Structure 1
């Protein structure tokens, strides 16, 4: 019995399959091309989008989007969200950038304590992501929903990075 193709090969195949790409794009809400593009599909426990590419193959949605924009060869082991929104699918620098696991965790820990950071949301990453996803799906005010879980000291603070 033949073994299943490697994940990179499955991803490469999916990126050339119009139906898969169309299904991915249908789950991305773009209100402004320079801002976060919100995932409107399934959400993981850590607040990242989950995308079922094919039977038995699920990928973090922003990894699929980054590979779609930049190619499988450009996909690093770790992608960092400079915007600190796990649902963000915008493949532009400042939103998604190659990183290392160590650097990504260190930046998360530092920014988790920075006033105004989405990482300080009292709802937790999954609940925040679920509420943002629902607002994006409904065409609602995503910015308002983003502010709801922040403490008063964090509301209206501009990012420091």
Structure 2
């Protein structure tokens, strides 16, 4: 039995238990730490970002190529999109807005805020995304284990808070 493209997409998404939780992509992860979803368009197979697919599907808006989707949650695997920006984890932007968002959240190498994706090399960001995906697939929605995967720490290591 063939499943639809949308059914195939949603089979790779795990939603958190709370309404405002991330919806994590657990399919293919590219070498930059973001998801990858394969679709057929014009008789050709091509990869799309799952957050773009989700956004377009749930909002009904077709995004021009020059429009970026920025993550409010800063989790590259999150595909939680909604027409209501108060609930959506992704929102439309451009390169300038993305750089401002990055600076405001301290995700630059010179940023003052130490945060899980700040200044991470591409390969390490991909490694942490894959660790998050594996954690969710193996253990379900476990915030402590997910946090450890995102920060690259051993979940058994004692934490200060």
Q: TM-score, normalised by structure 2?
A: 0.71
The equivalent of 1:95 in structure 2 is: 89
Q: Is the 8 A contact 1:85 1:118 kept in 2?
A: no
Q: Quote the offset at 1:147 in angstroms.
A: 3.1
Instruction: Answer yes or no: is 1:64 the counterpart of 2:64.
Output: no
The equivalent of 1:147 in structure 2 is: 148
Q: Which runs of 4+ in 1 moved over 6 A?
A: none
5+ residue gaps, structure 2, are 154-158
5+ residue gaps, structure 1, are 1-17
The equivalent of 1:28 in structure 2 is: 13
Deviations 1:41-85 (A, max 9, x none): 001122111000124221011100001100133x35111001000
> RMSD of the alignment, in Å?
2.8
Deviations 1:5-40 (A, max 9, x none): xxxxxxxxxxxxx70000000000012231111100
Provide the rounded CA distance (Å) in 2 between the counterparts of 1:82 and 1:156.
26
Select the structure that is richer in helix.
Answer: 1
Total equivalences in the alignment: 137
